[in-house]
A and B are shown apart, each in its own frame.
Chain A
C-alpha cells in the first residue's frame, strides 16, 4: 500500500471534521516528506492505528489555533493551553482518524482499530520515528494560521 493512497482519505477527513464540527474551511497544501523537512508544533494529538495498516496519525497545531479550535468546540473563549484544549485536540485526532477509516474501507477495503488519543505538549516540539520509515504531512491553512496532518503508516500489523 502506497502511503499517498492513504494520505488523501486522511486529508478529506480533516476537511470534513473542520467543516462539520467547527464551521472552518482549511485549505490543503501539497504533501511534504517529513524526513526531509521536520515539522514543529506546540500541541499534537496522536492516534495509534492497528490493522490492515499500522502506525500513527497526528494532527499538529500552533498554540493560538489550538485555543481557537477548543473555544469553538466548547462555546467559550480559551486563551491558554489547558486540559480542555488537550481534550479538544485529542478528539479532533480521534474524529480525523475514524473518518479516514470510513473512507479507506469504502475505497480500498482497508480497515484498522483506533487506540485512545495521546496529546503531546511543548513549544515547537518535533516527533521522532524509527529510521527507514516513511512519514508524510499535509499542511493546512486557516486564515493566517497553519496546522499539519502527519501520518506514519505501513502495511499490516
Chain B
C-alpha cells in the first residue's frame, strides 16, 4: 500500500513518515500542499492529509479527489489541529474517511488507519 503524506510542515511529514514506518508501512510519497499532492496521485492507495496548508488546503484536496472518478473512493485521513466538532462534520461531509487530531500518538494513527481500511 502506497501512502501519500500531505502537510506543509516538514516536521509533521517527518513525524508521520517515522510513525508509519514503525507501523510497518514503508512505501510513501509526500507533498507540502494539496496542489502538489494532486500531481503525485498516480499509484497512491491511501492519503493522509493536513487541513491547514498554503496554496491548496486539505479540504479542497479532498473535494477535488472526490470529484475524480479514479480517486472517488480512495481512503483519506485528515490530520489537523482543528479540534472543533463542526470541522470534523464538515470534513466527513466532504468525503474524508477518518479524522485525527494533532497532537496524536502512534497508537492513534495505527487505530485510525486500521479502522479506515476495515470500513472500505
Contact = CB atoms under 8 A, between A and B. Distances in A.
B82 A114 contact: yes
A99 interface: yes
Interface in B22-62: 52, 54
Contact of A102 (B52, B84, B105): B84
A83 to B, nearest CB: 8
Interface in B69-99: 80-86
Contacts of B105: 20
Interface residues of A, number: 26
Contacts of A101: 81-84
Given A20-B104, A99-B103, A111-B86, A84 B80 contact: no
**Interface band, chain B:** 20 to 34
The majority secondary structure among interface residues of chain B is loop
Contacts of A103: 83
A99 B11 contact: no
A16 interface: yes
Given A16-B103, A21-B103, A95 B11 contact: no
A84 B12 CA distance: 11
B46 to A, nearest CB: 22
B9 A105 contact: no
Interface string A87-129: 1101100110111011101000001001010000000000000
A75 interface: yes
A90 B52 CA distance: 12
B9 A87 contact: yes
A1 interface: no
A84 B10 CA distance: 7
A16 B14 CA distance: 20
A71 to B, nearest CB: 11
B11 A94 contact: no
Contact of B83 (A21, A90, A98): A98
Interface of B: 8-12, 14-15, 18, 52, 54, 80-86, 101-105
| Shortest Cβ-Cβ A-B pairs, 6 listed | A98-B81, A102-B83, A20-B103, A21-B103, A88-B11, A91-B9
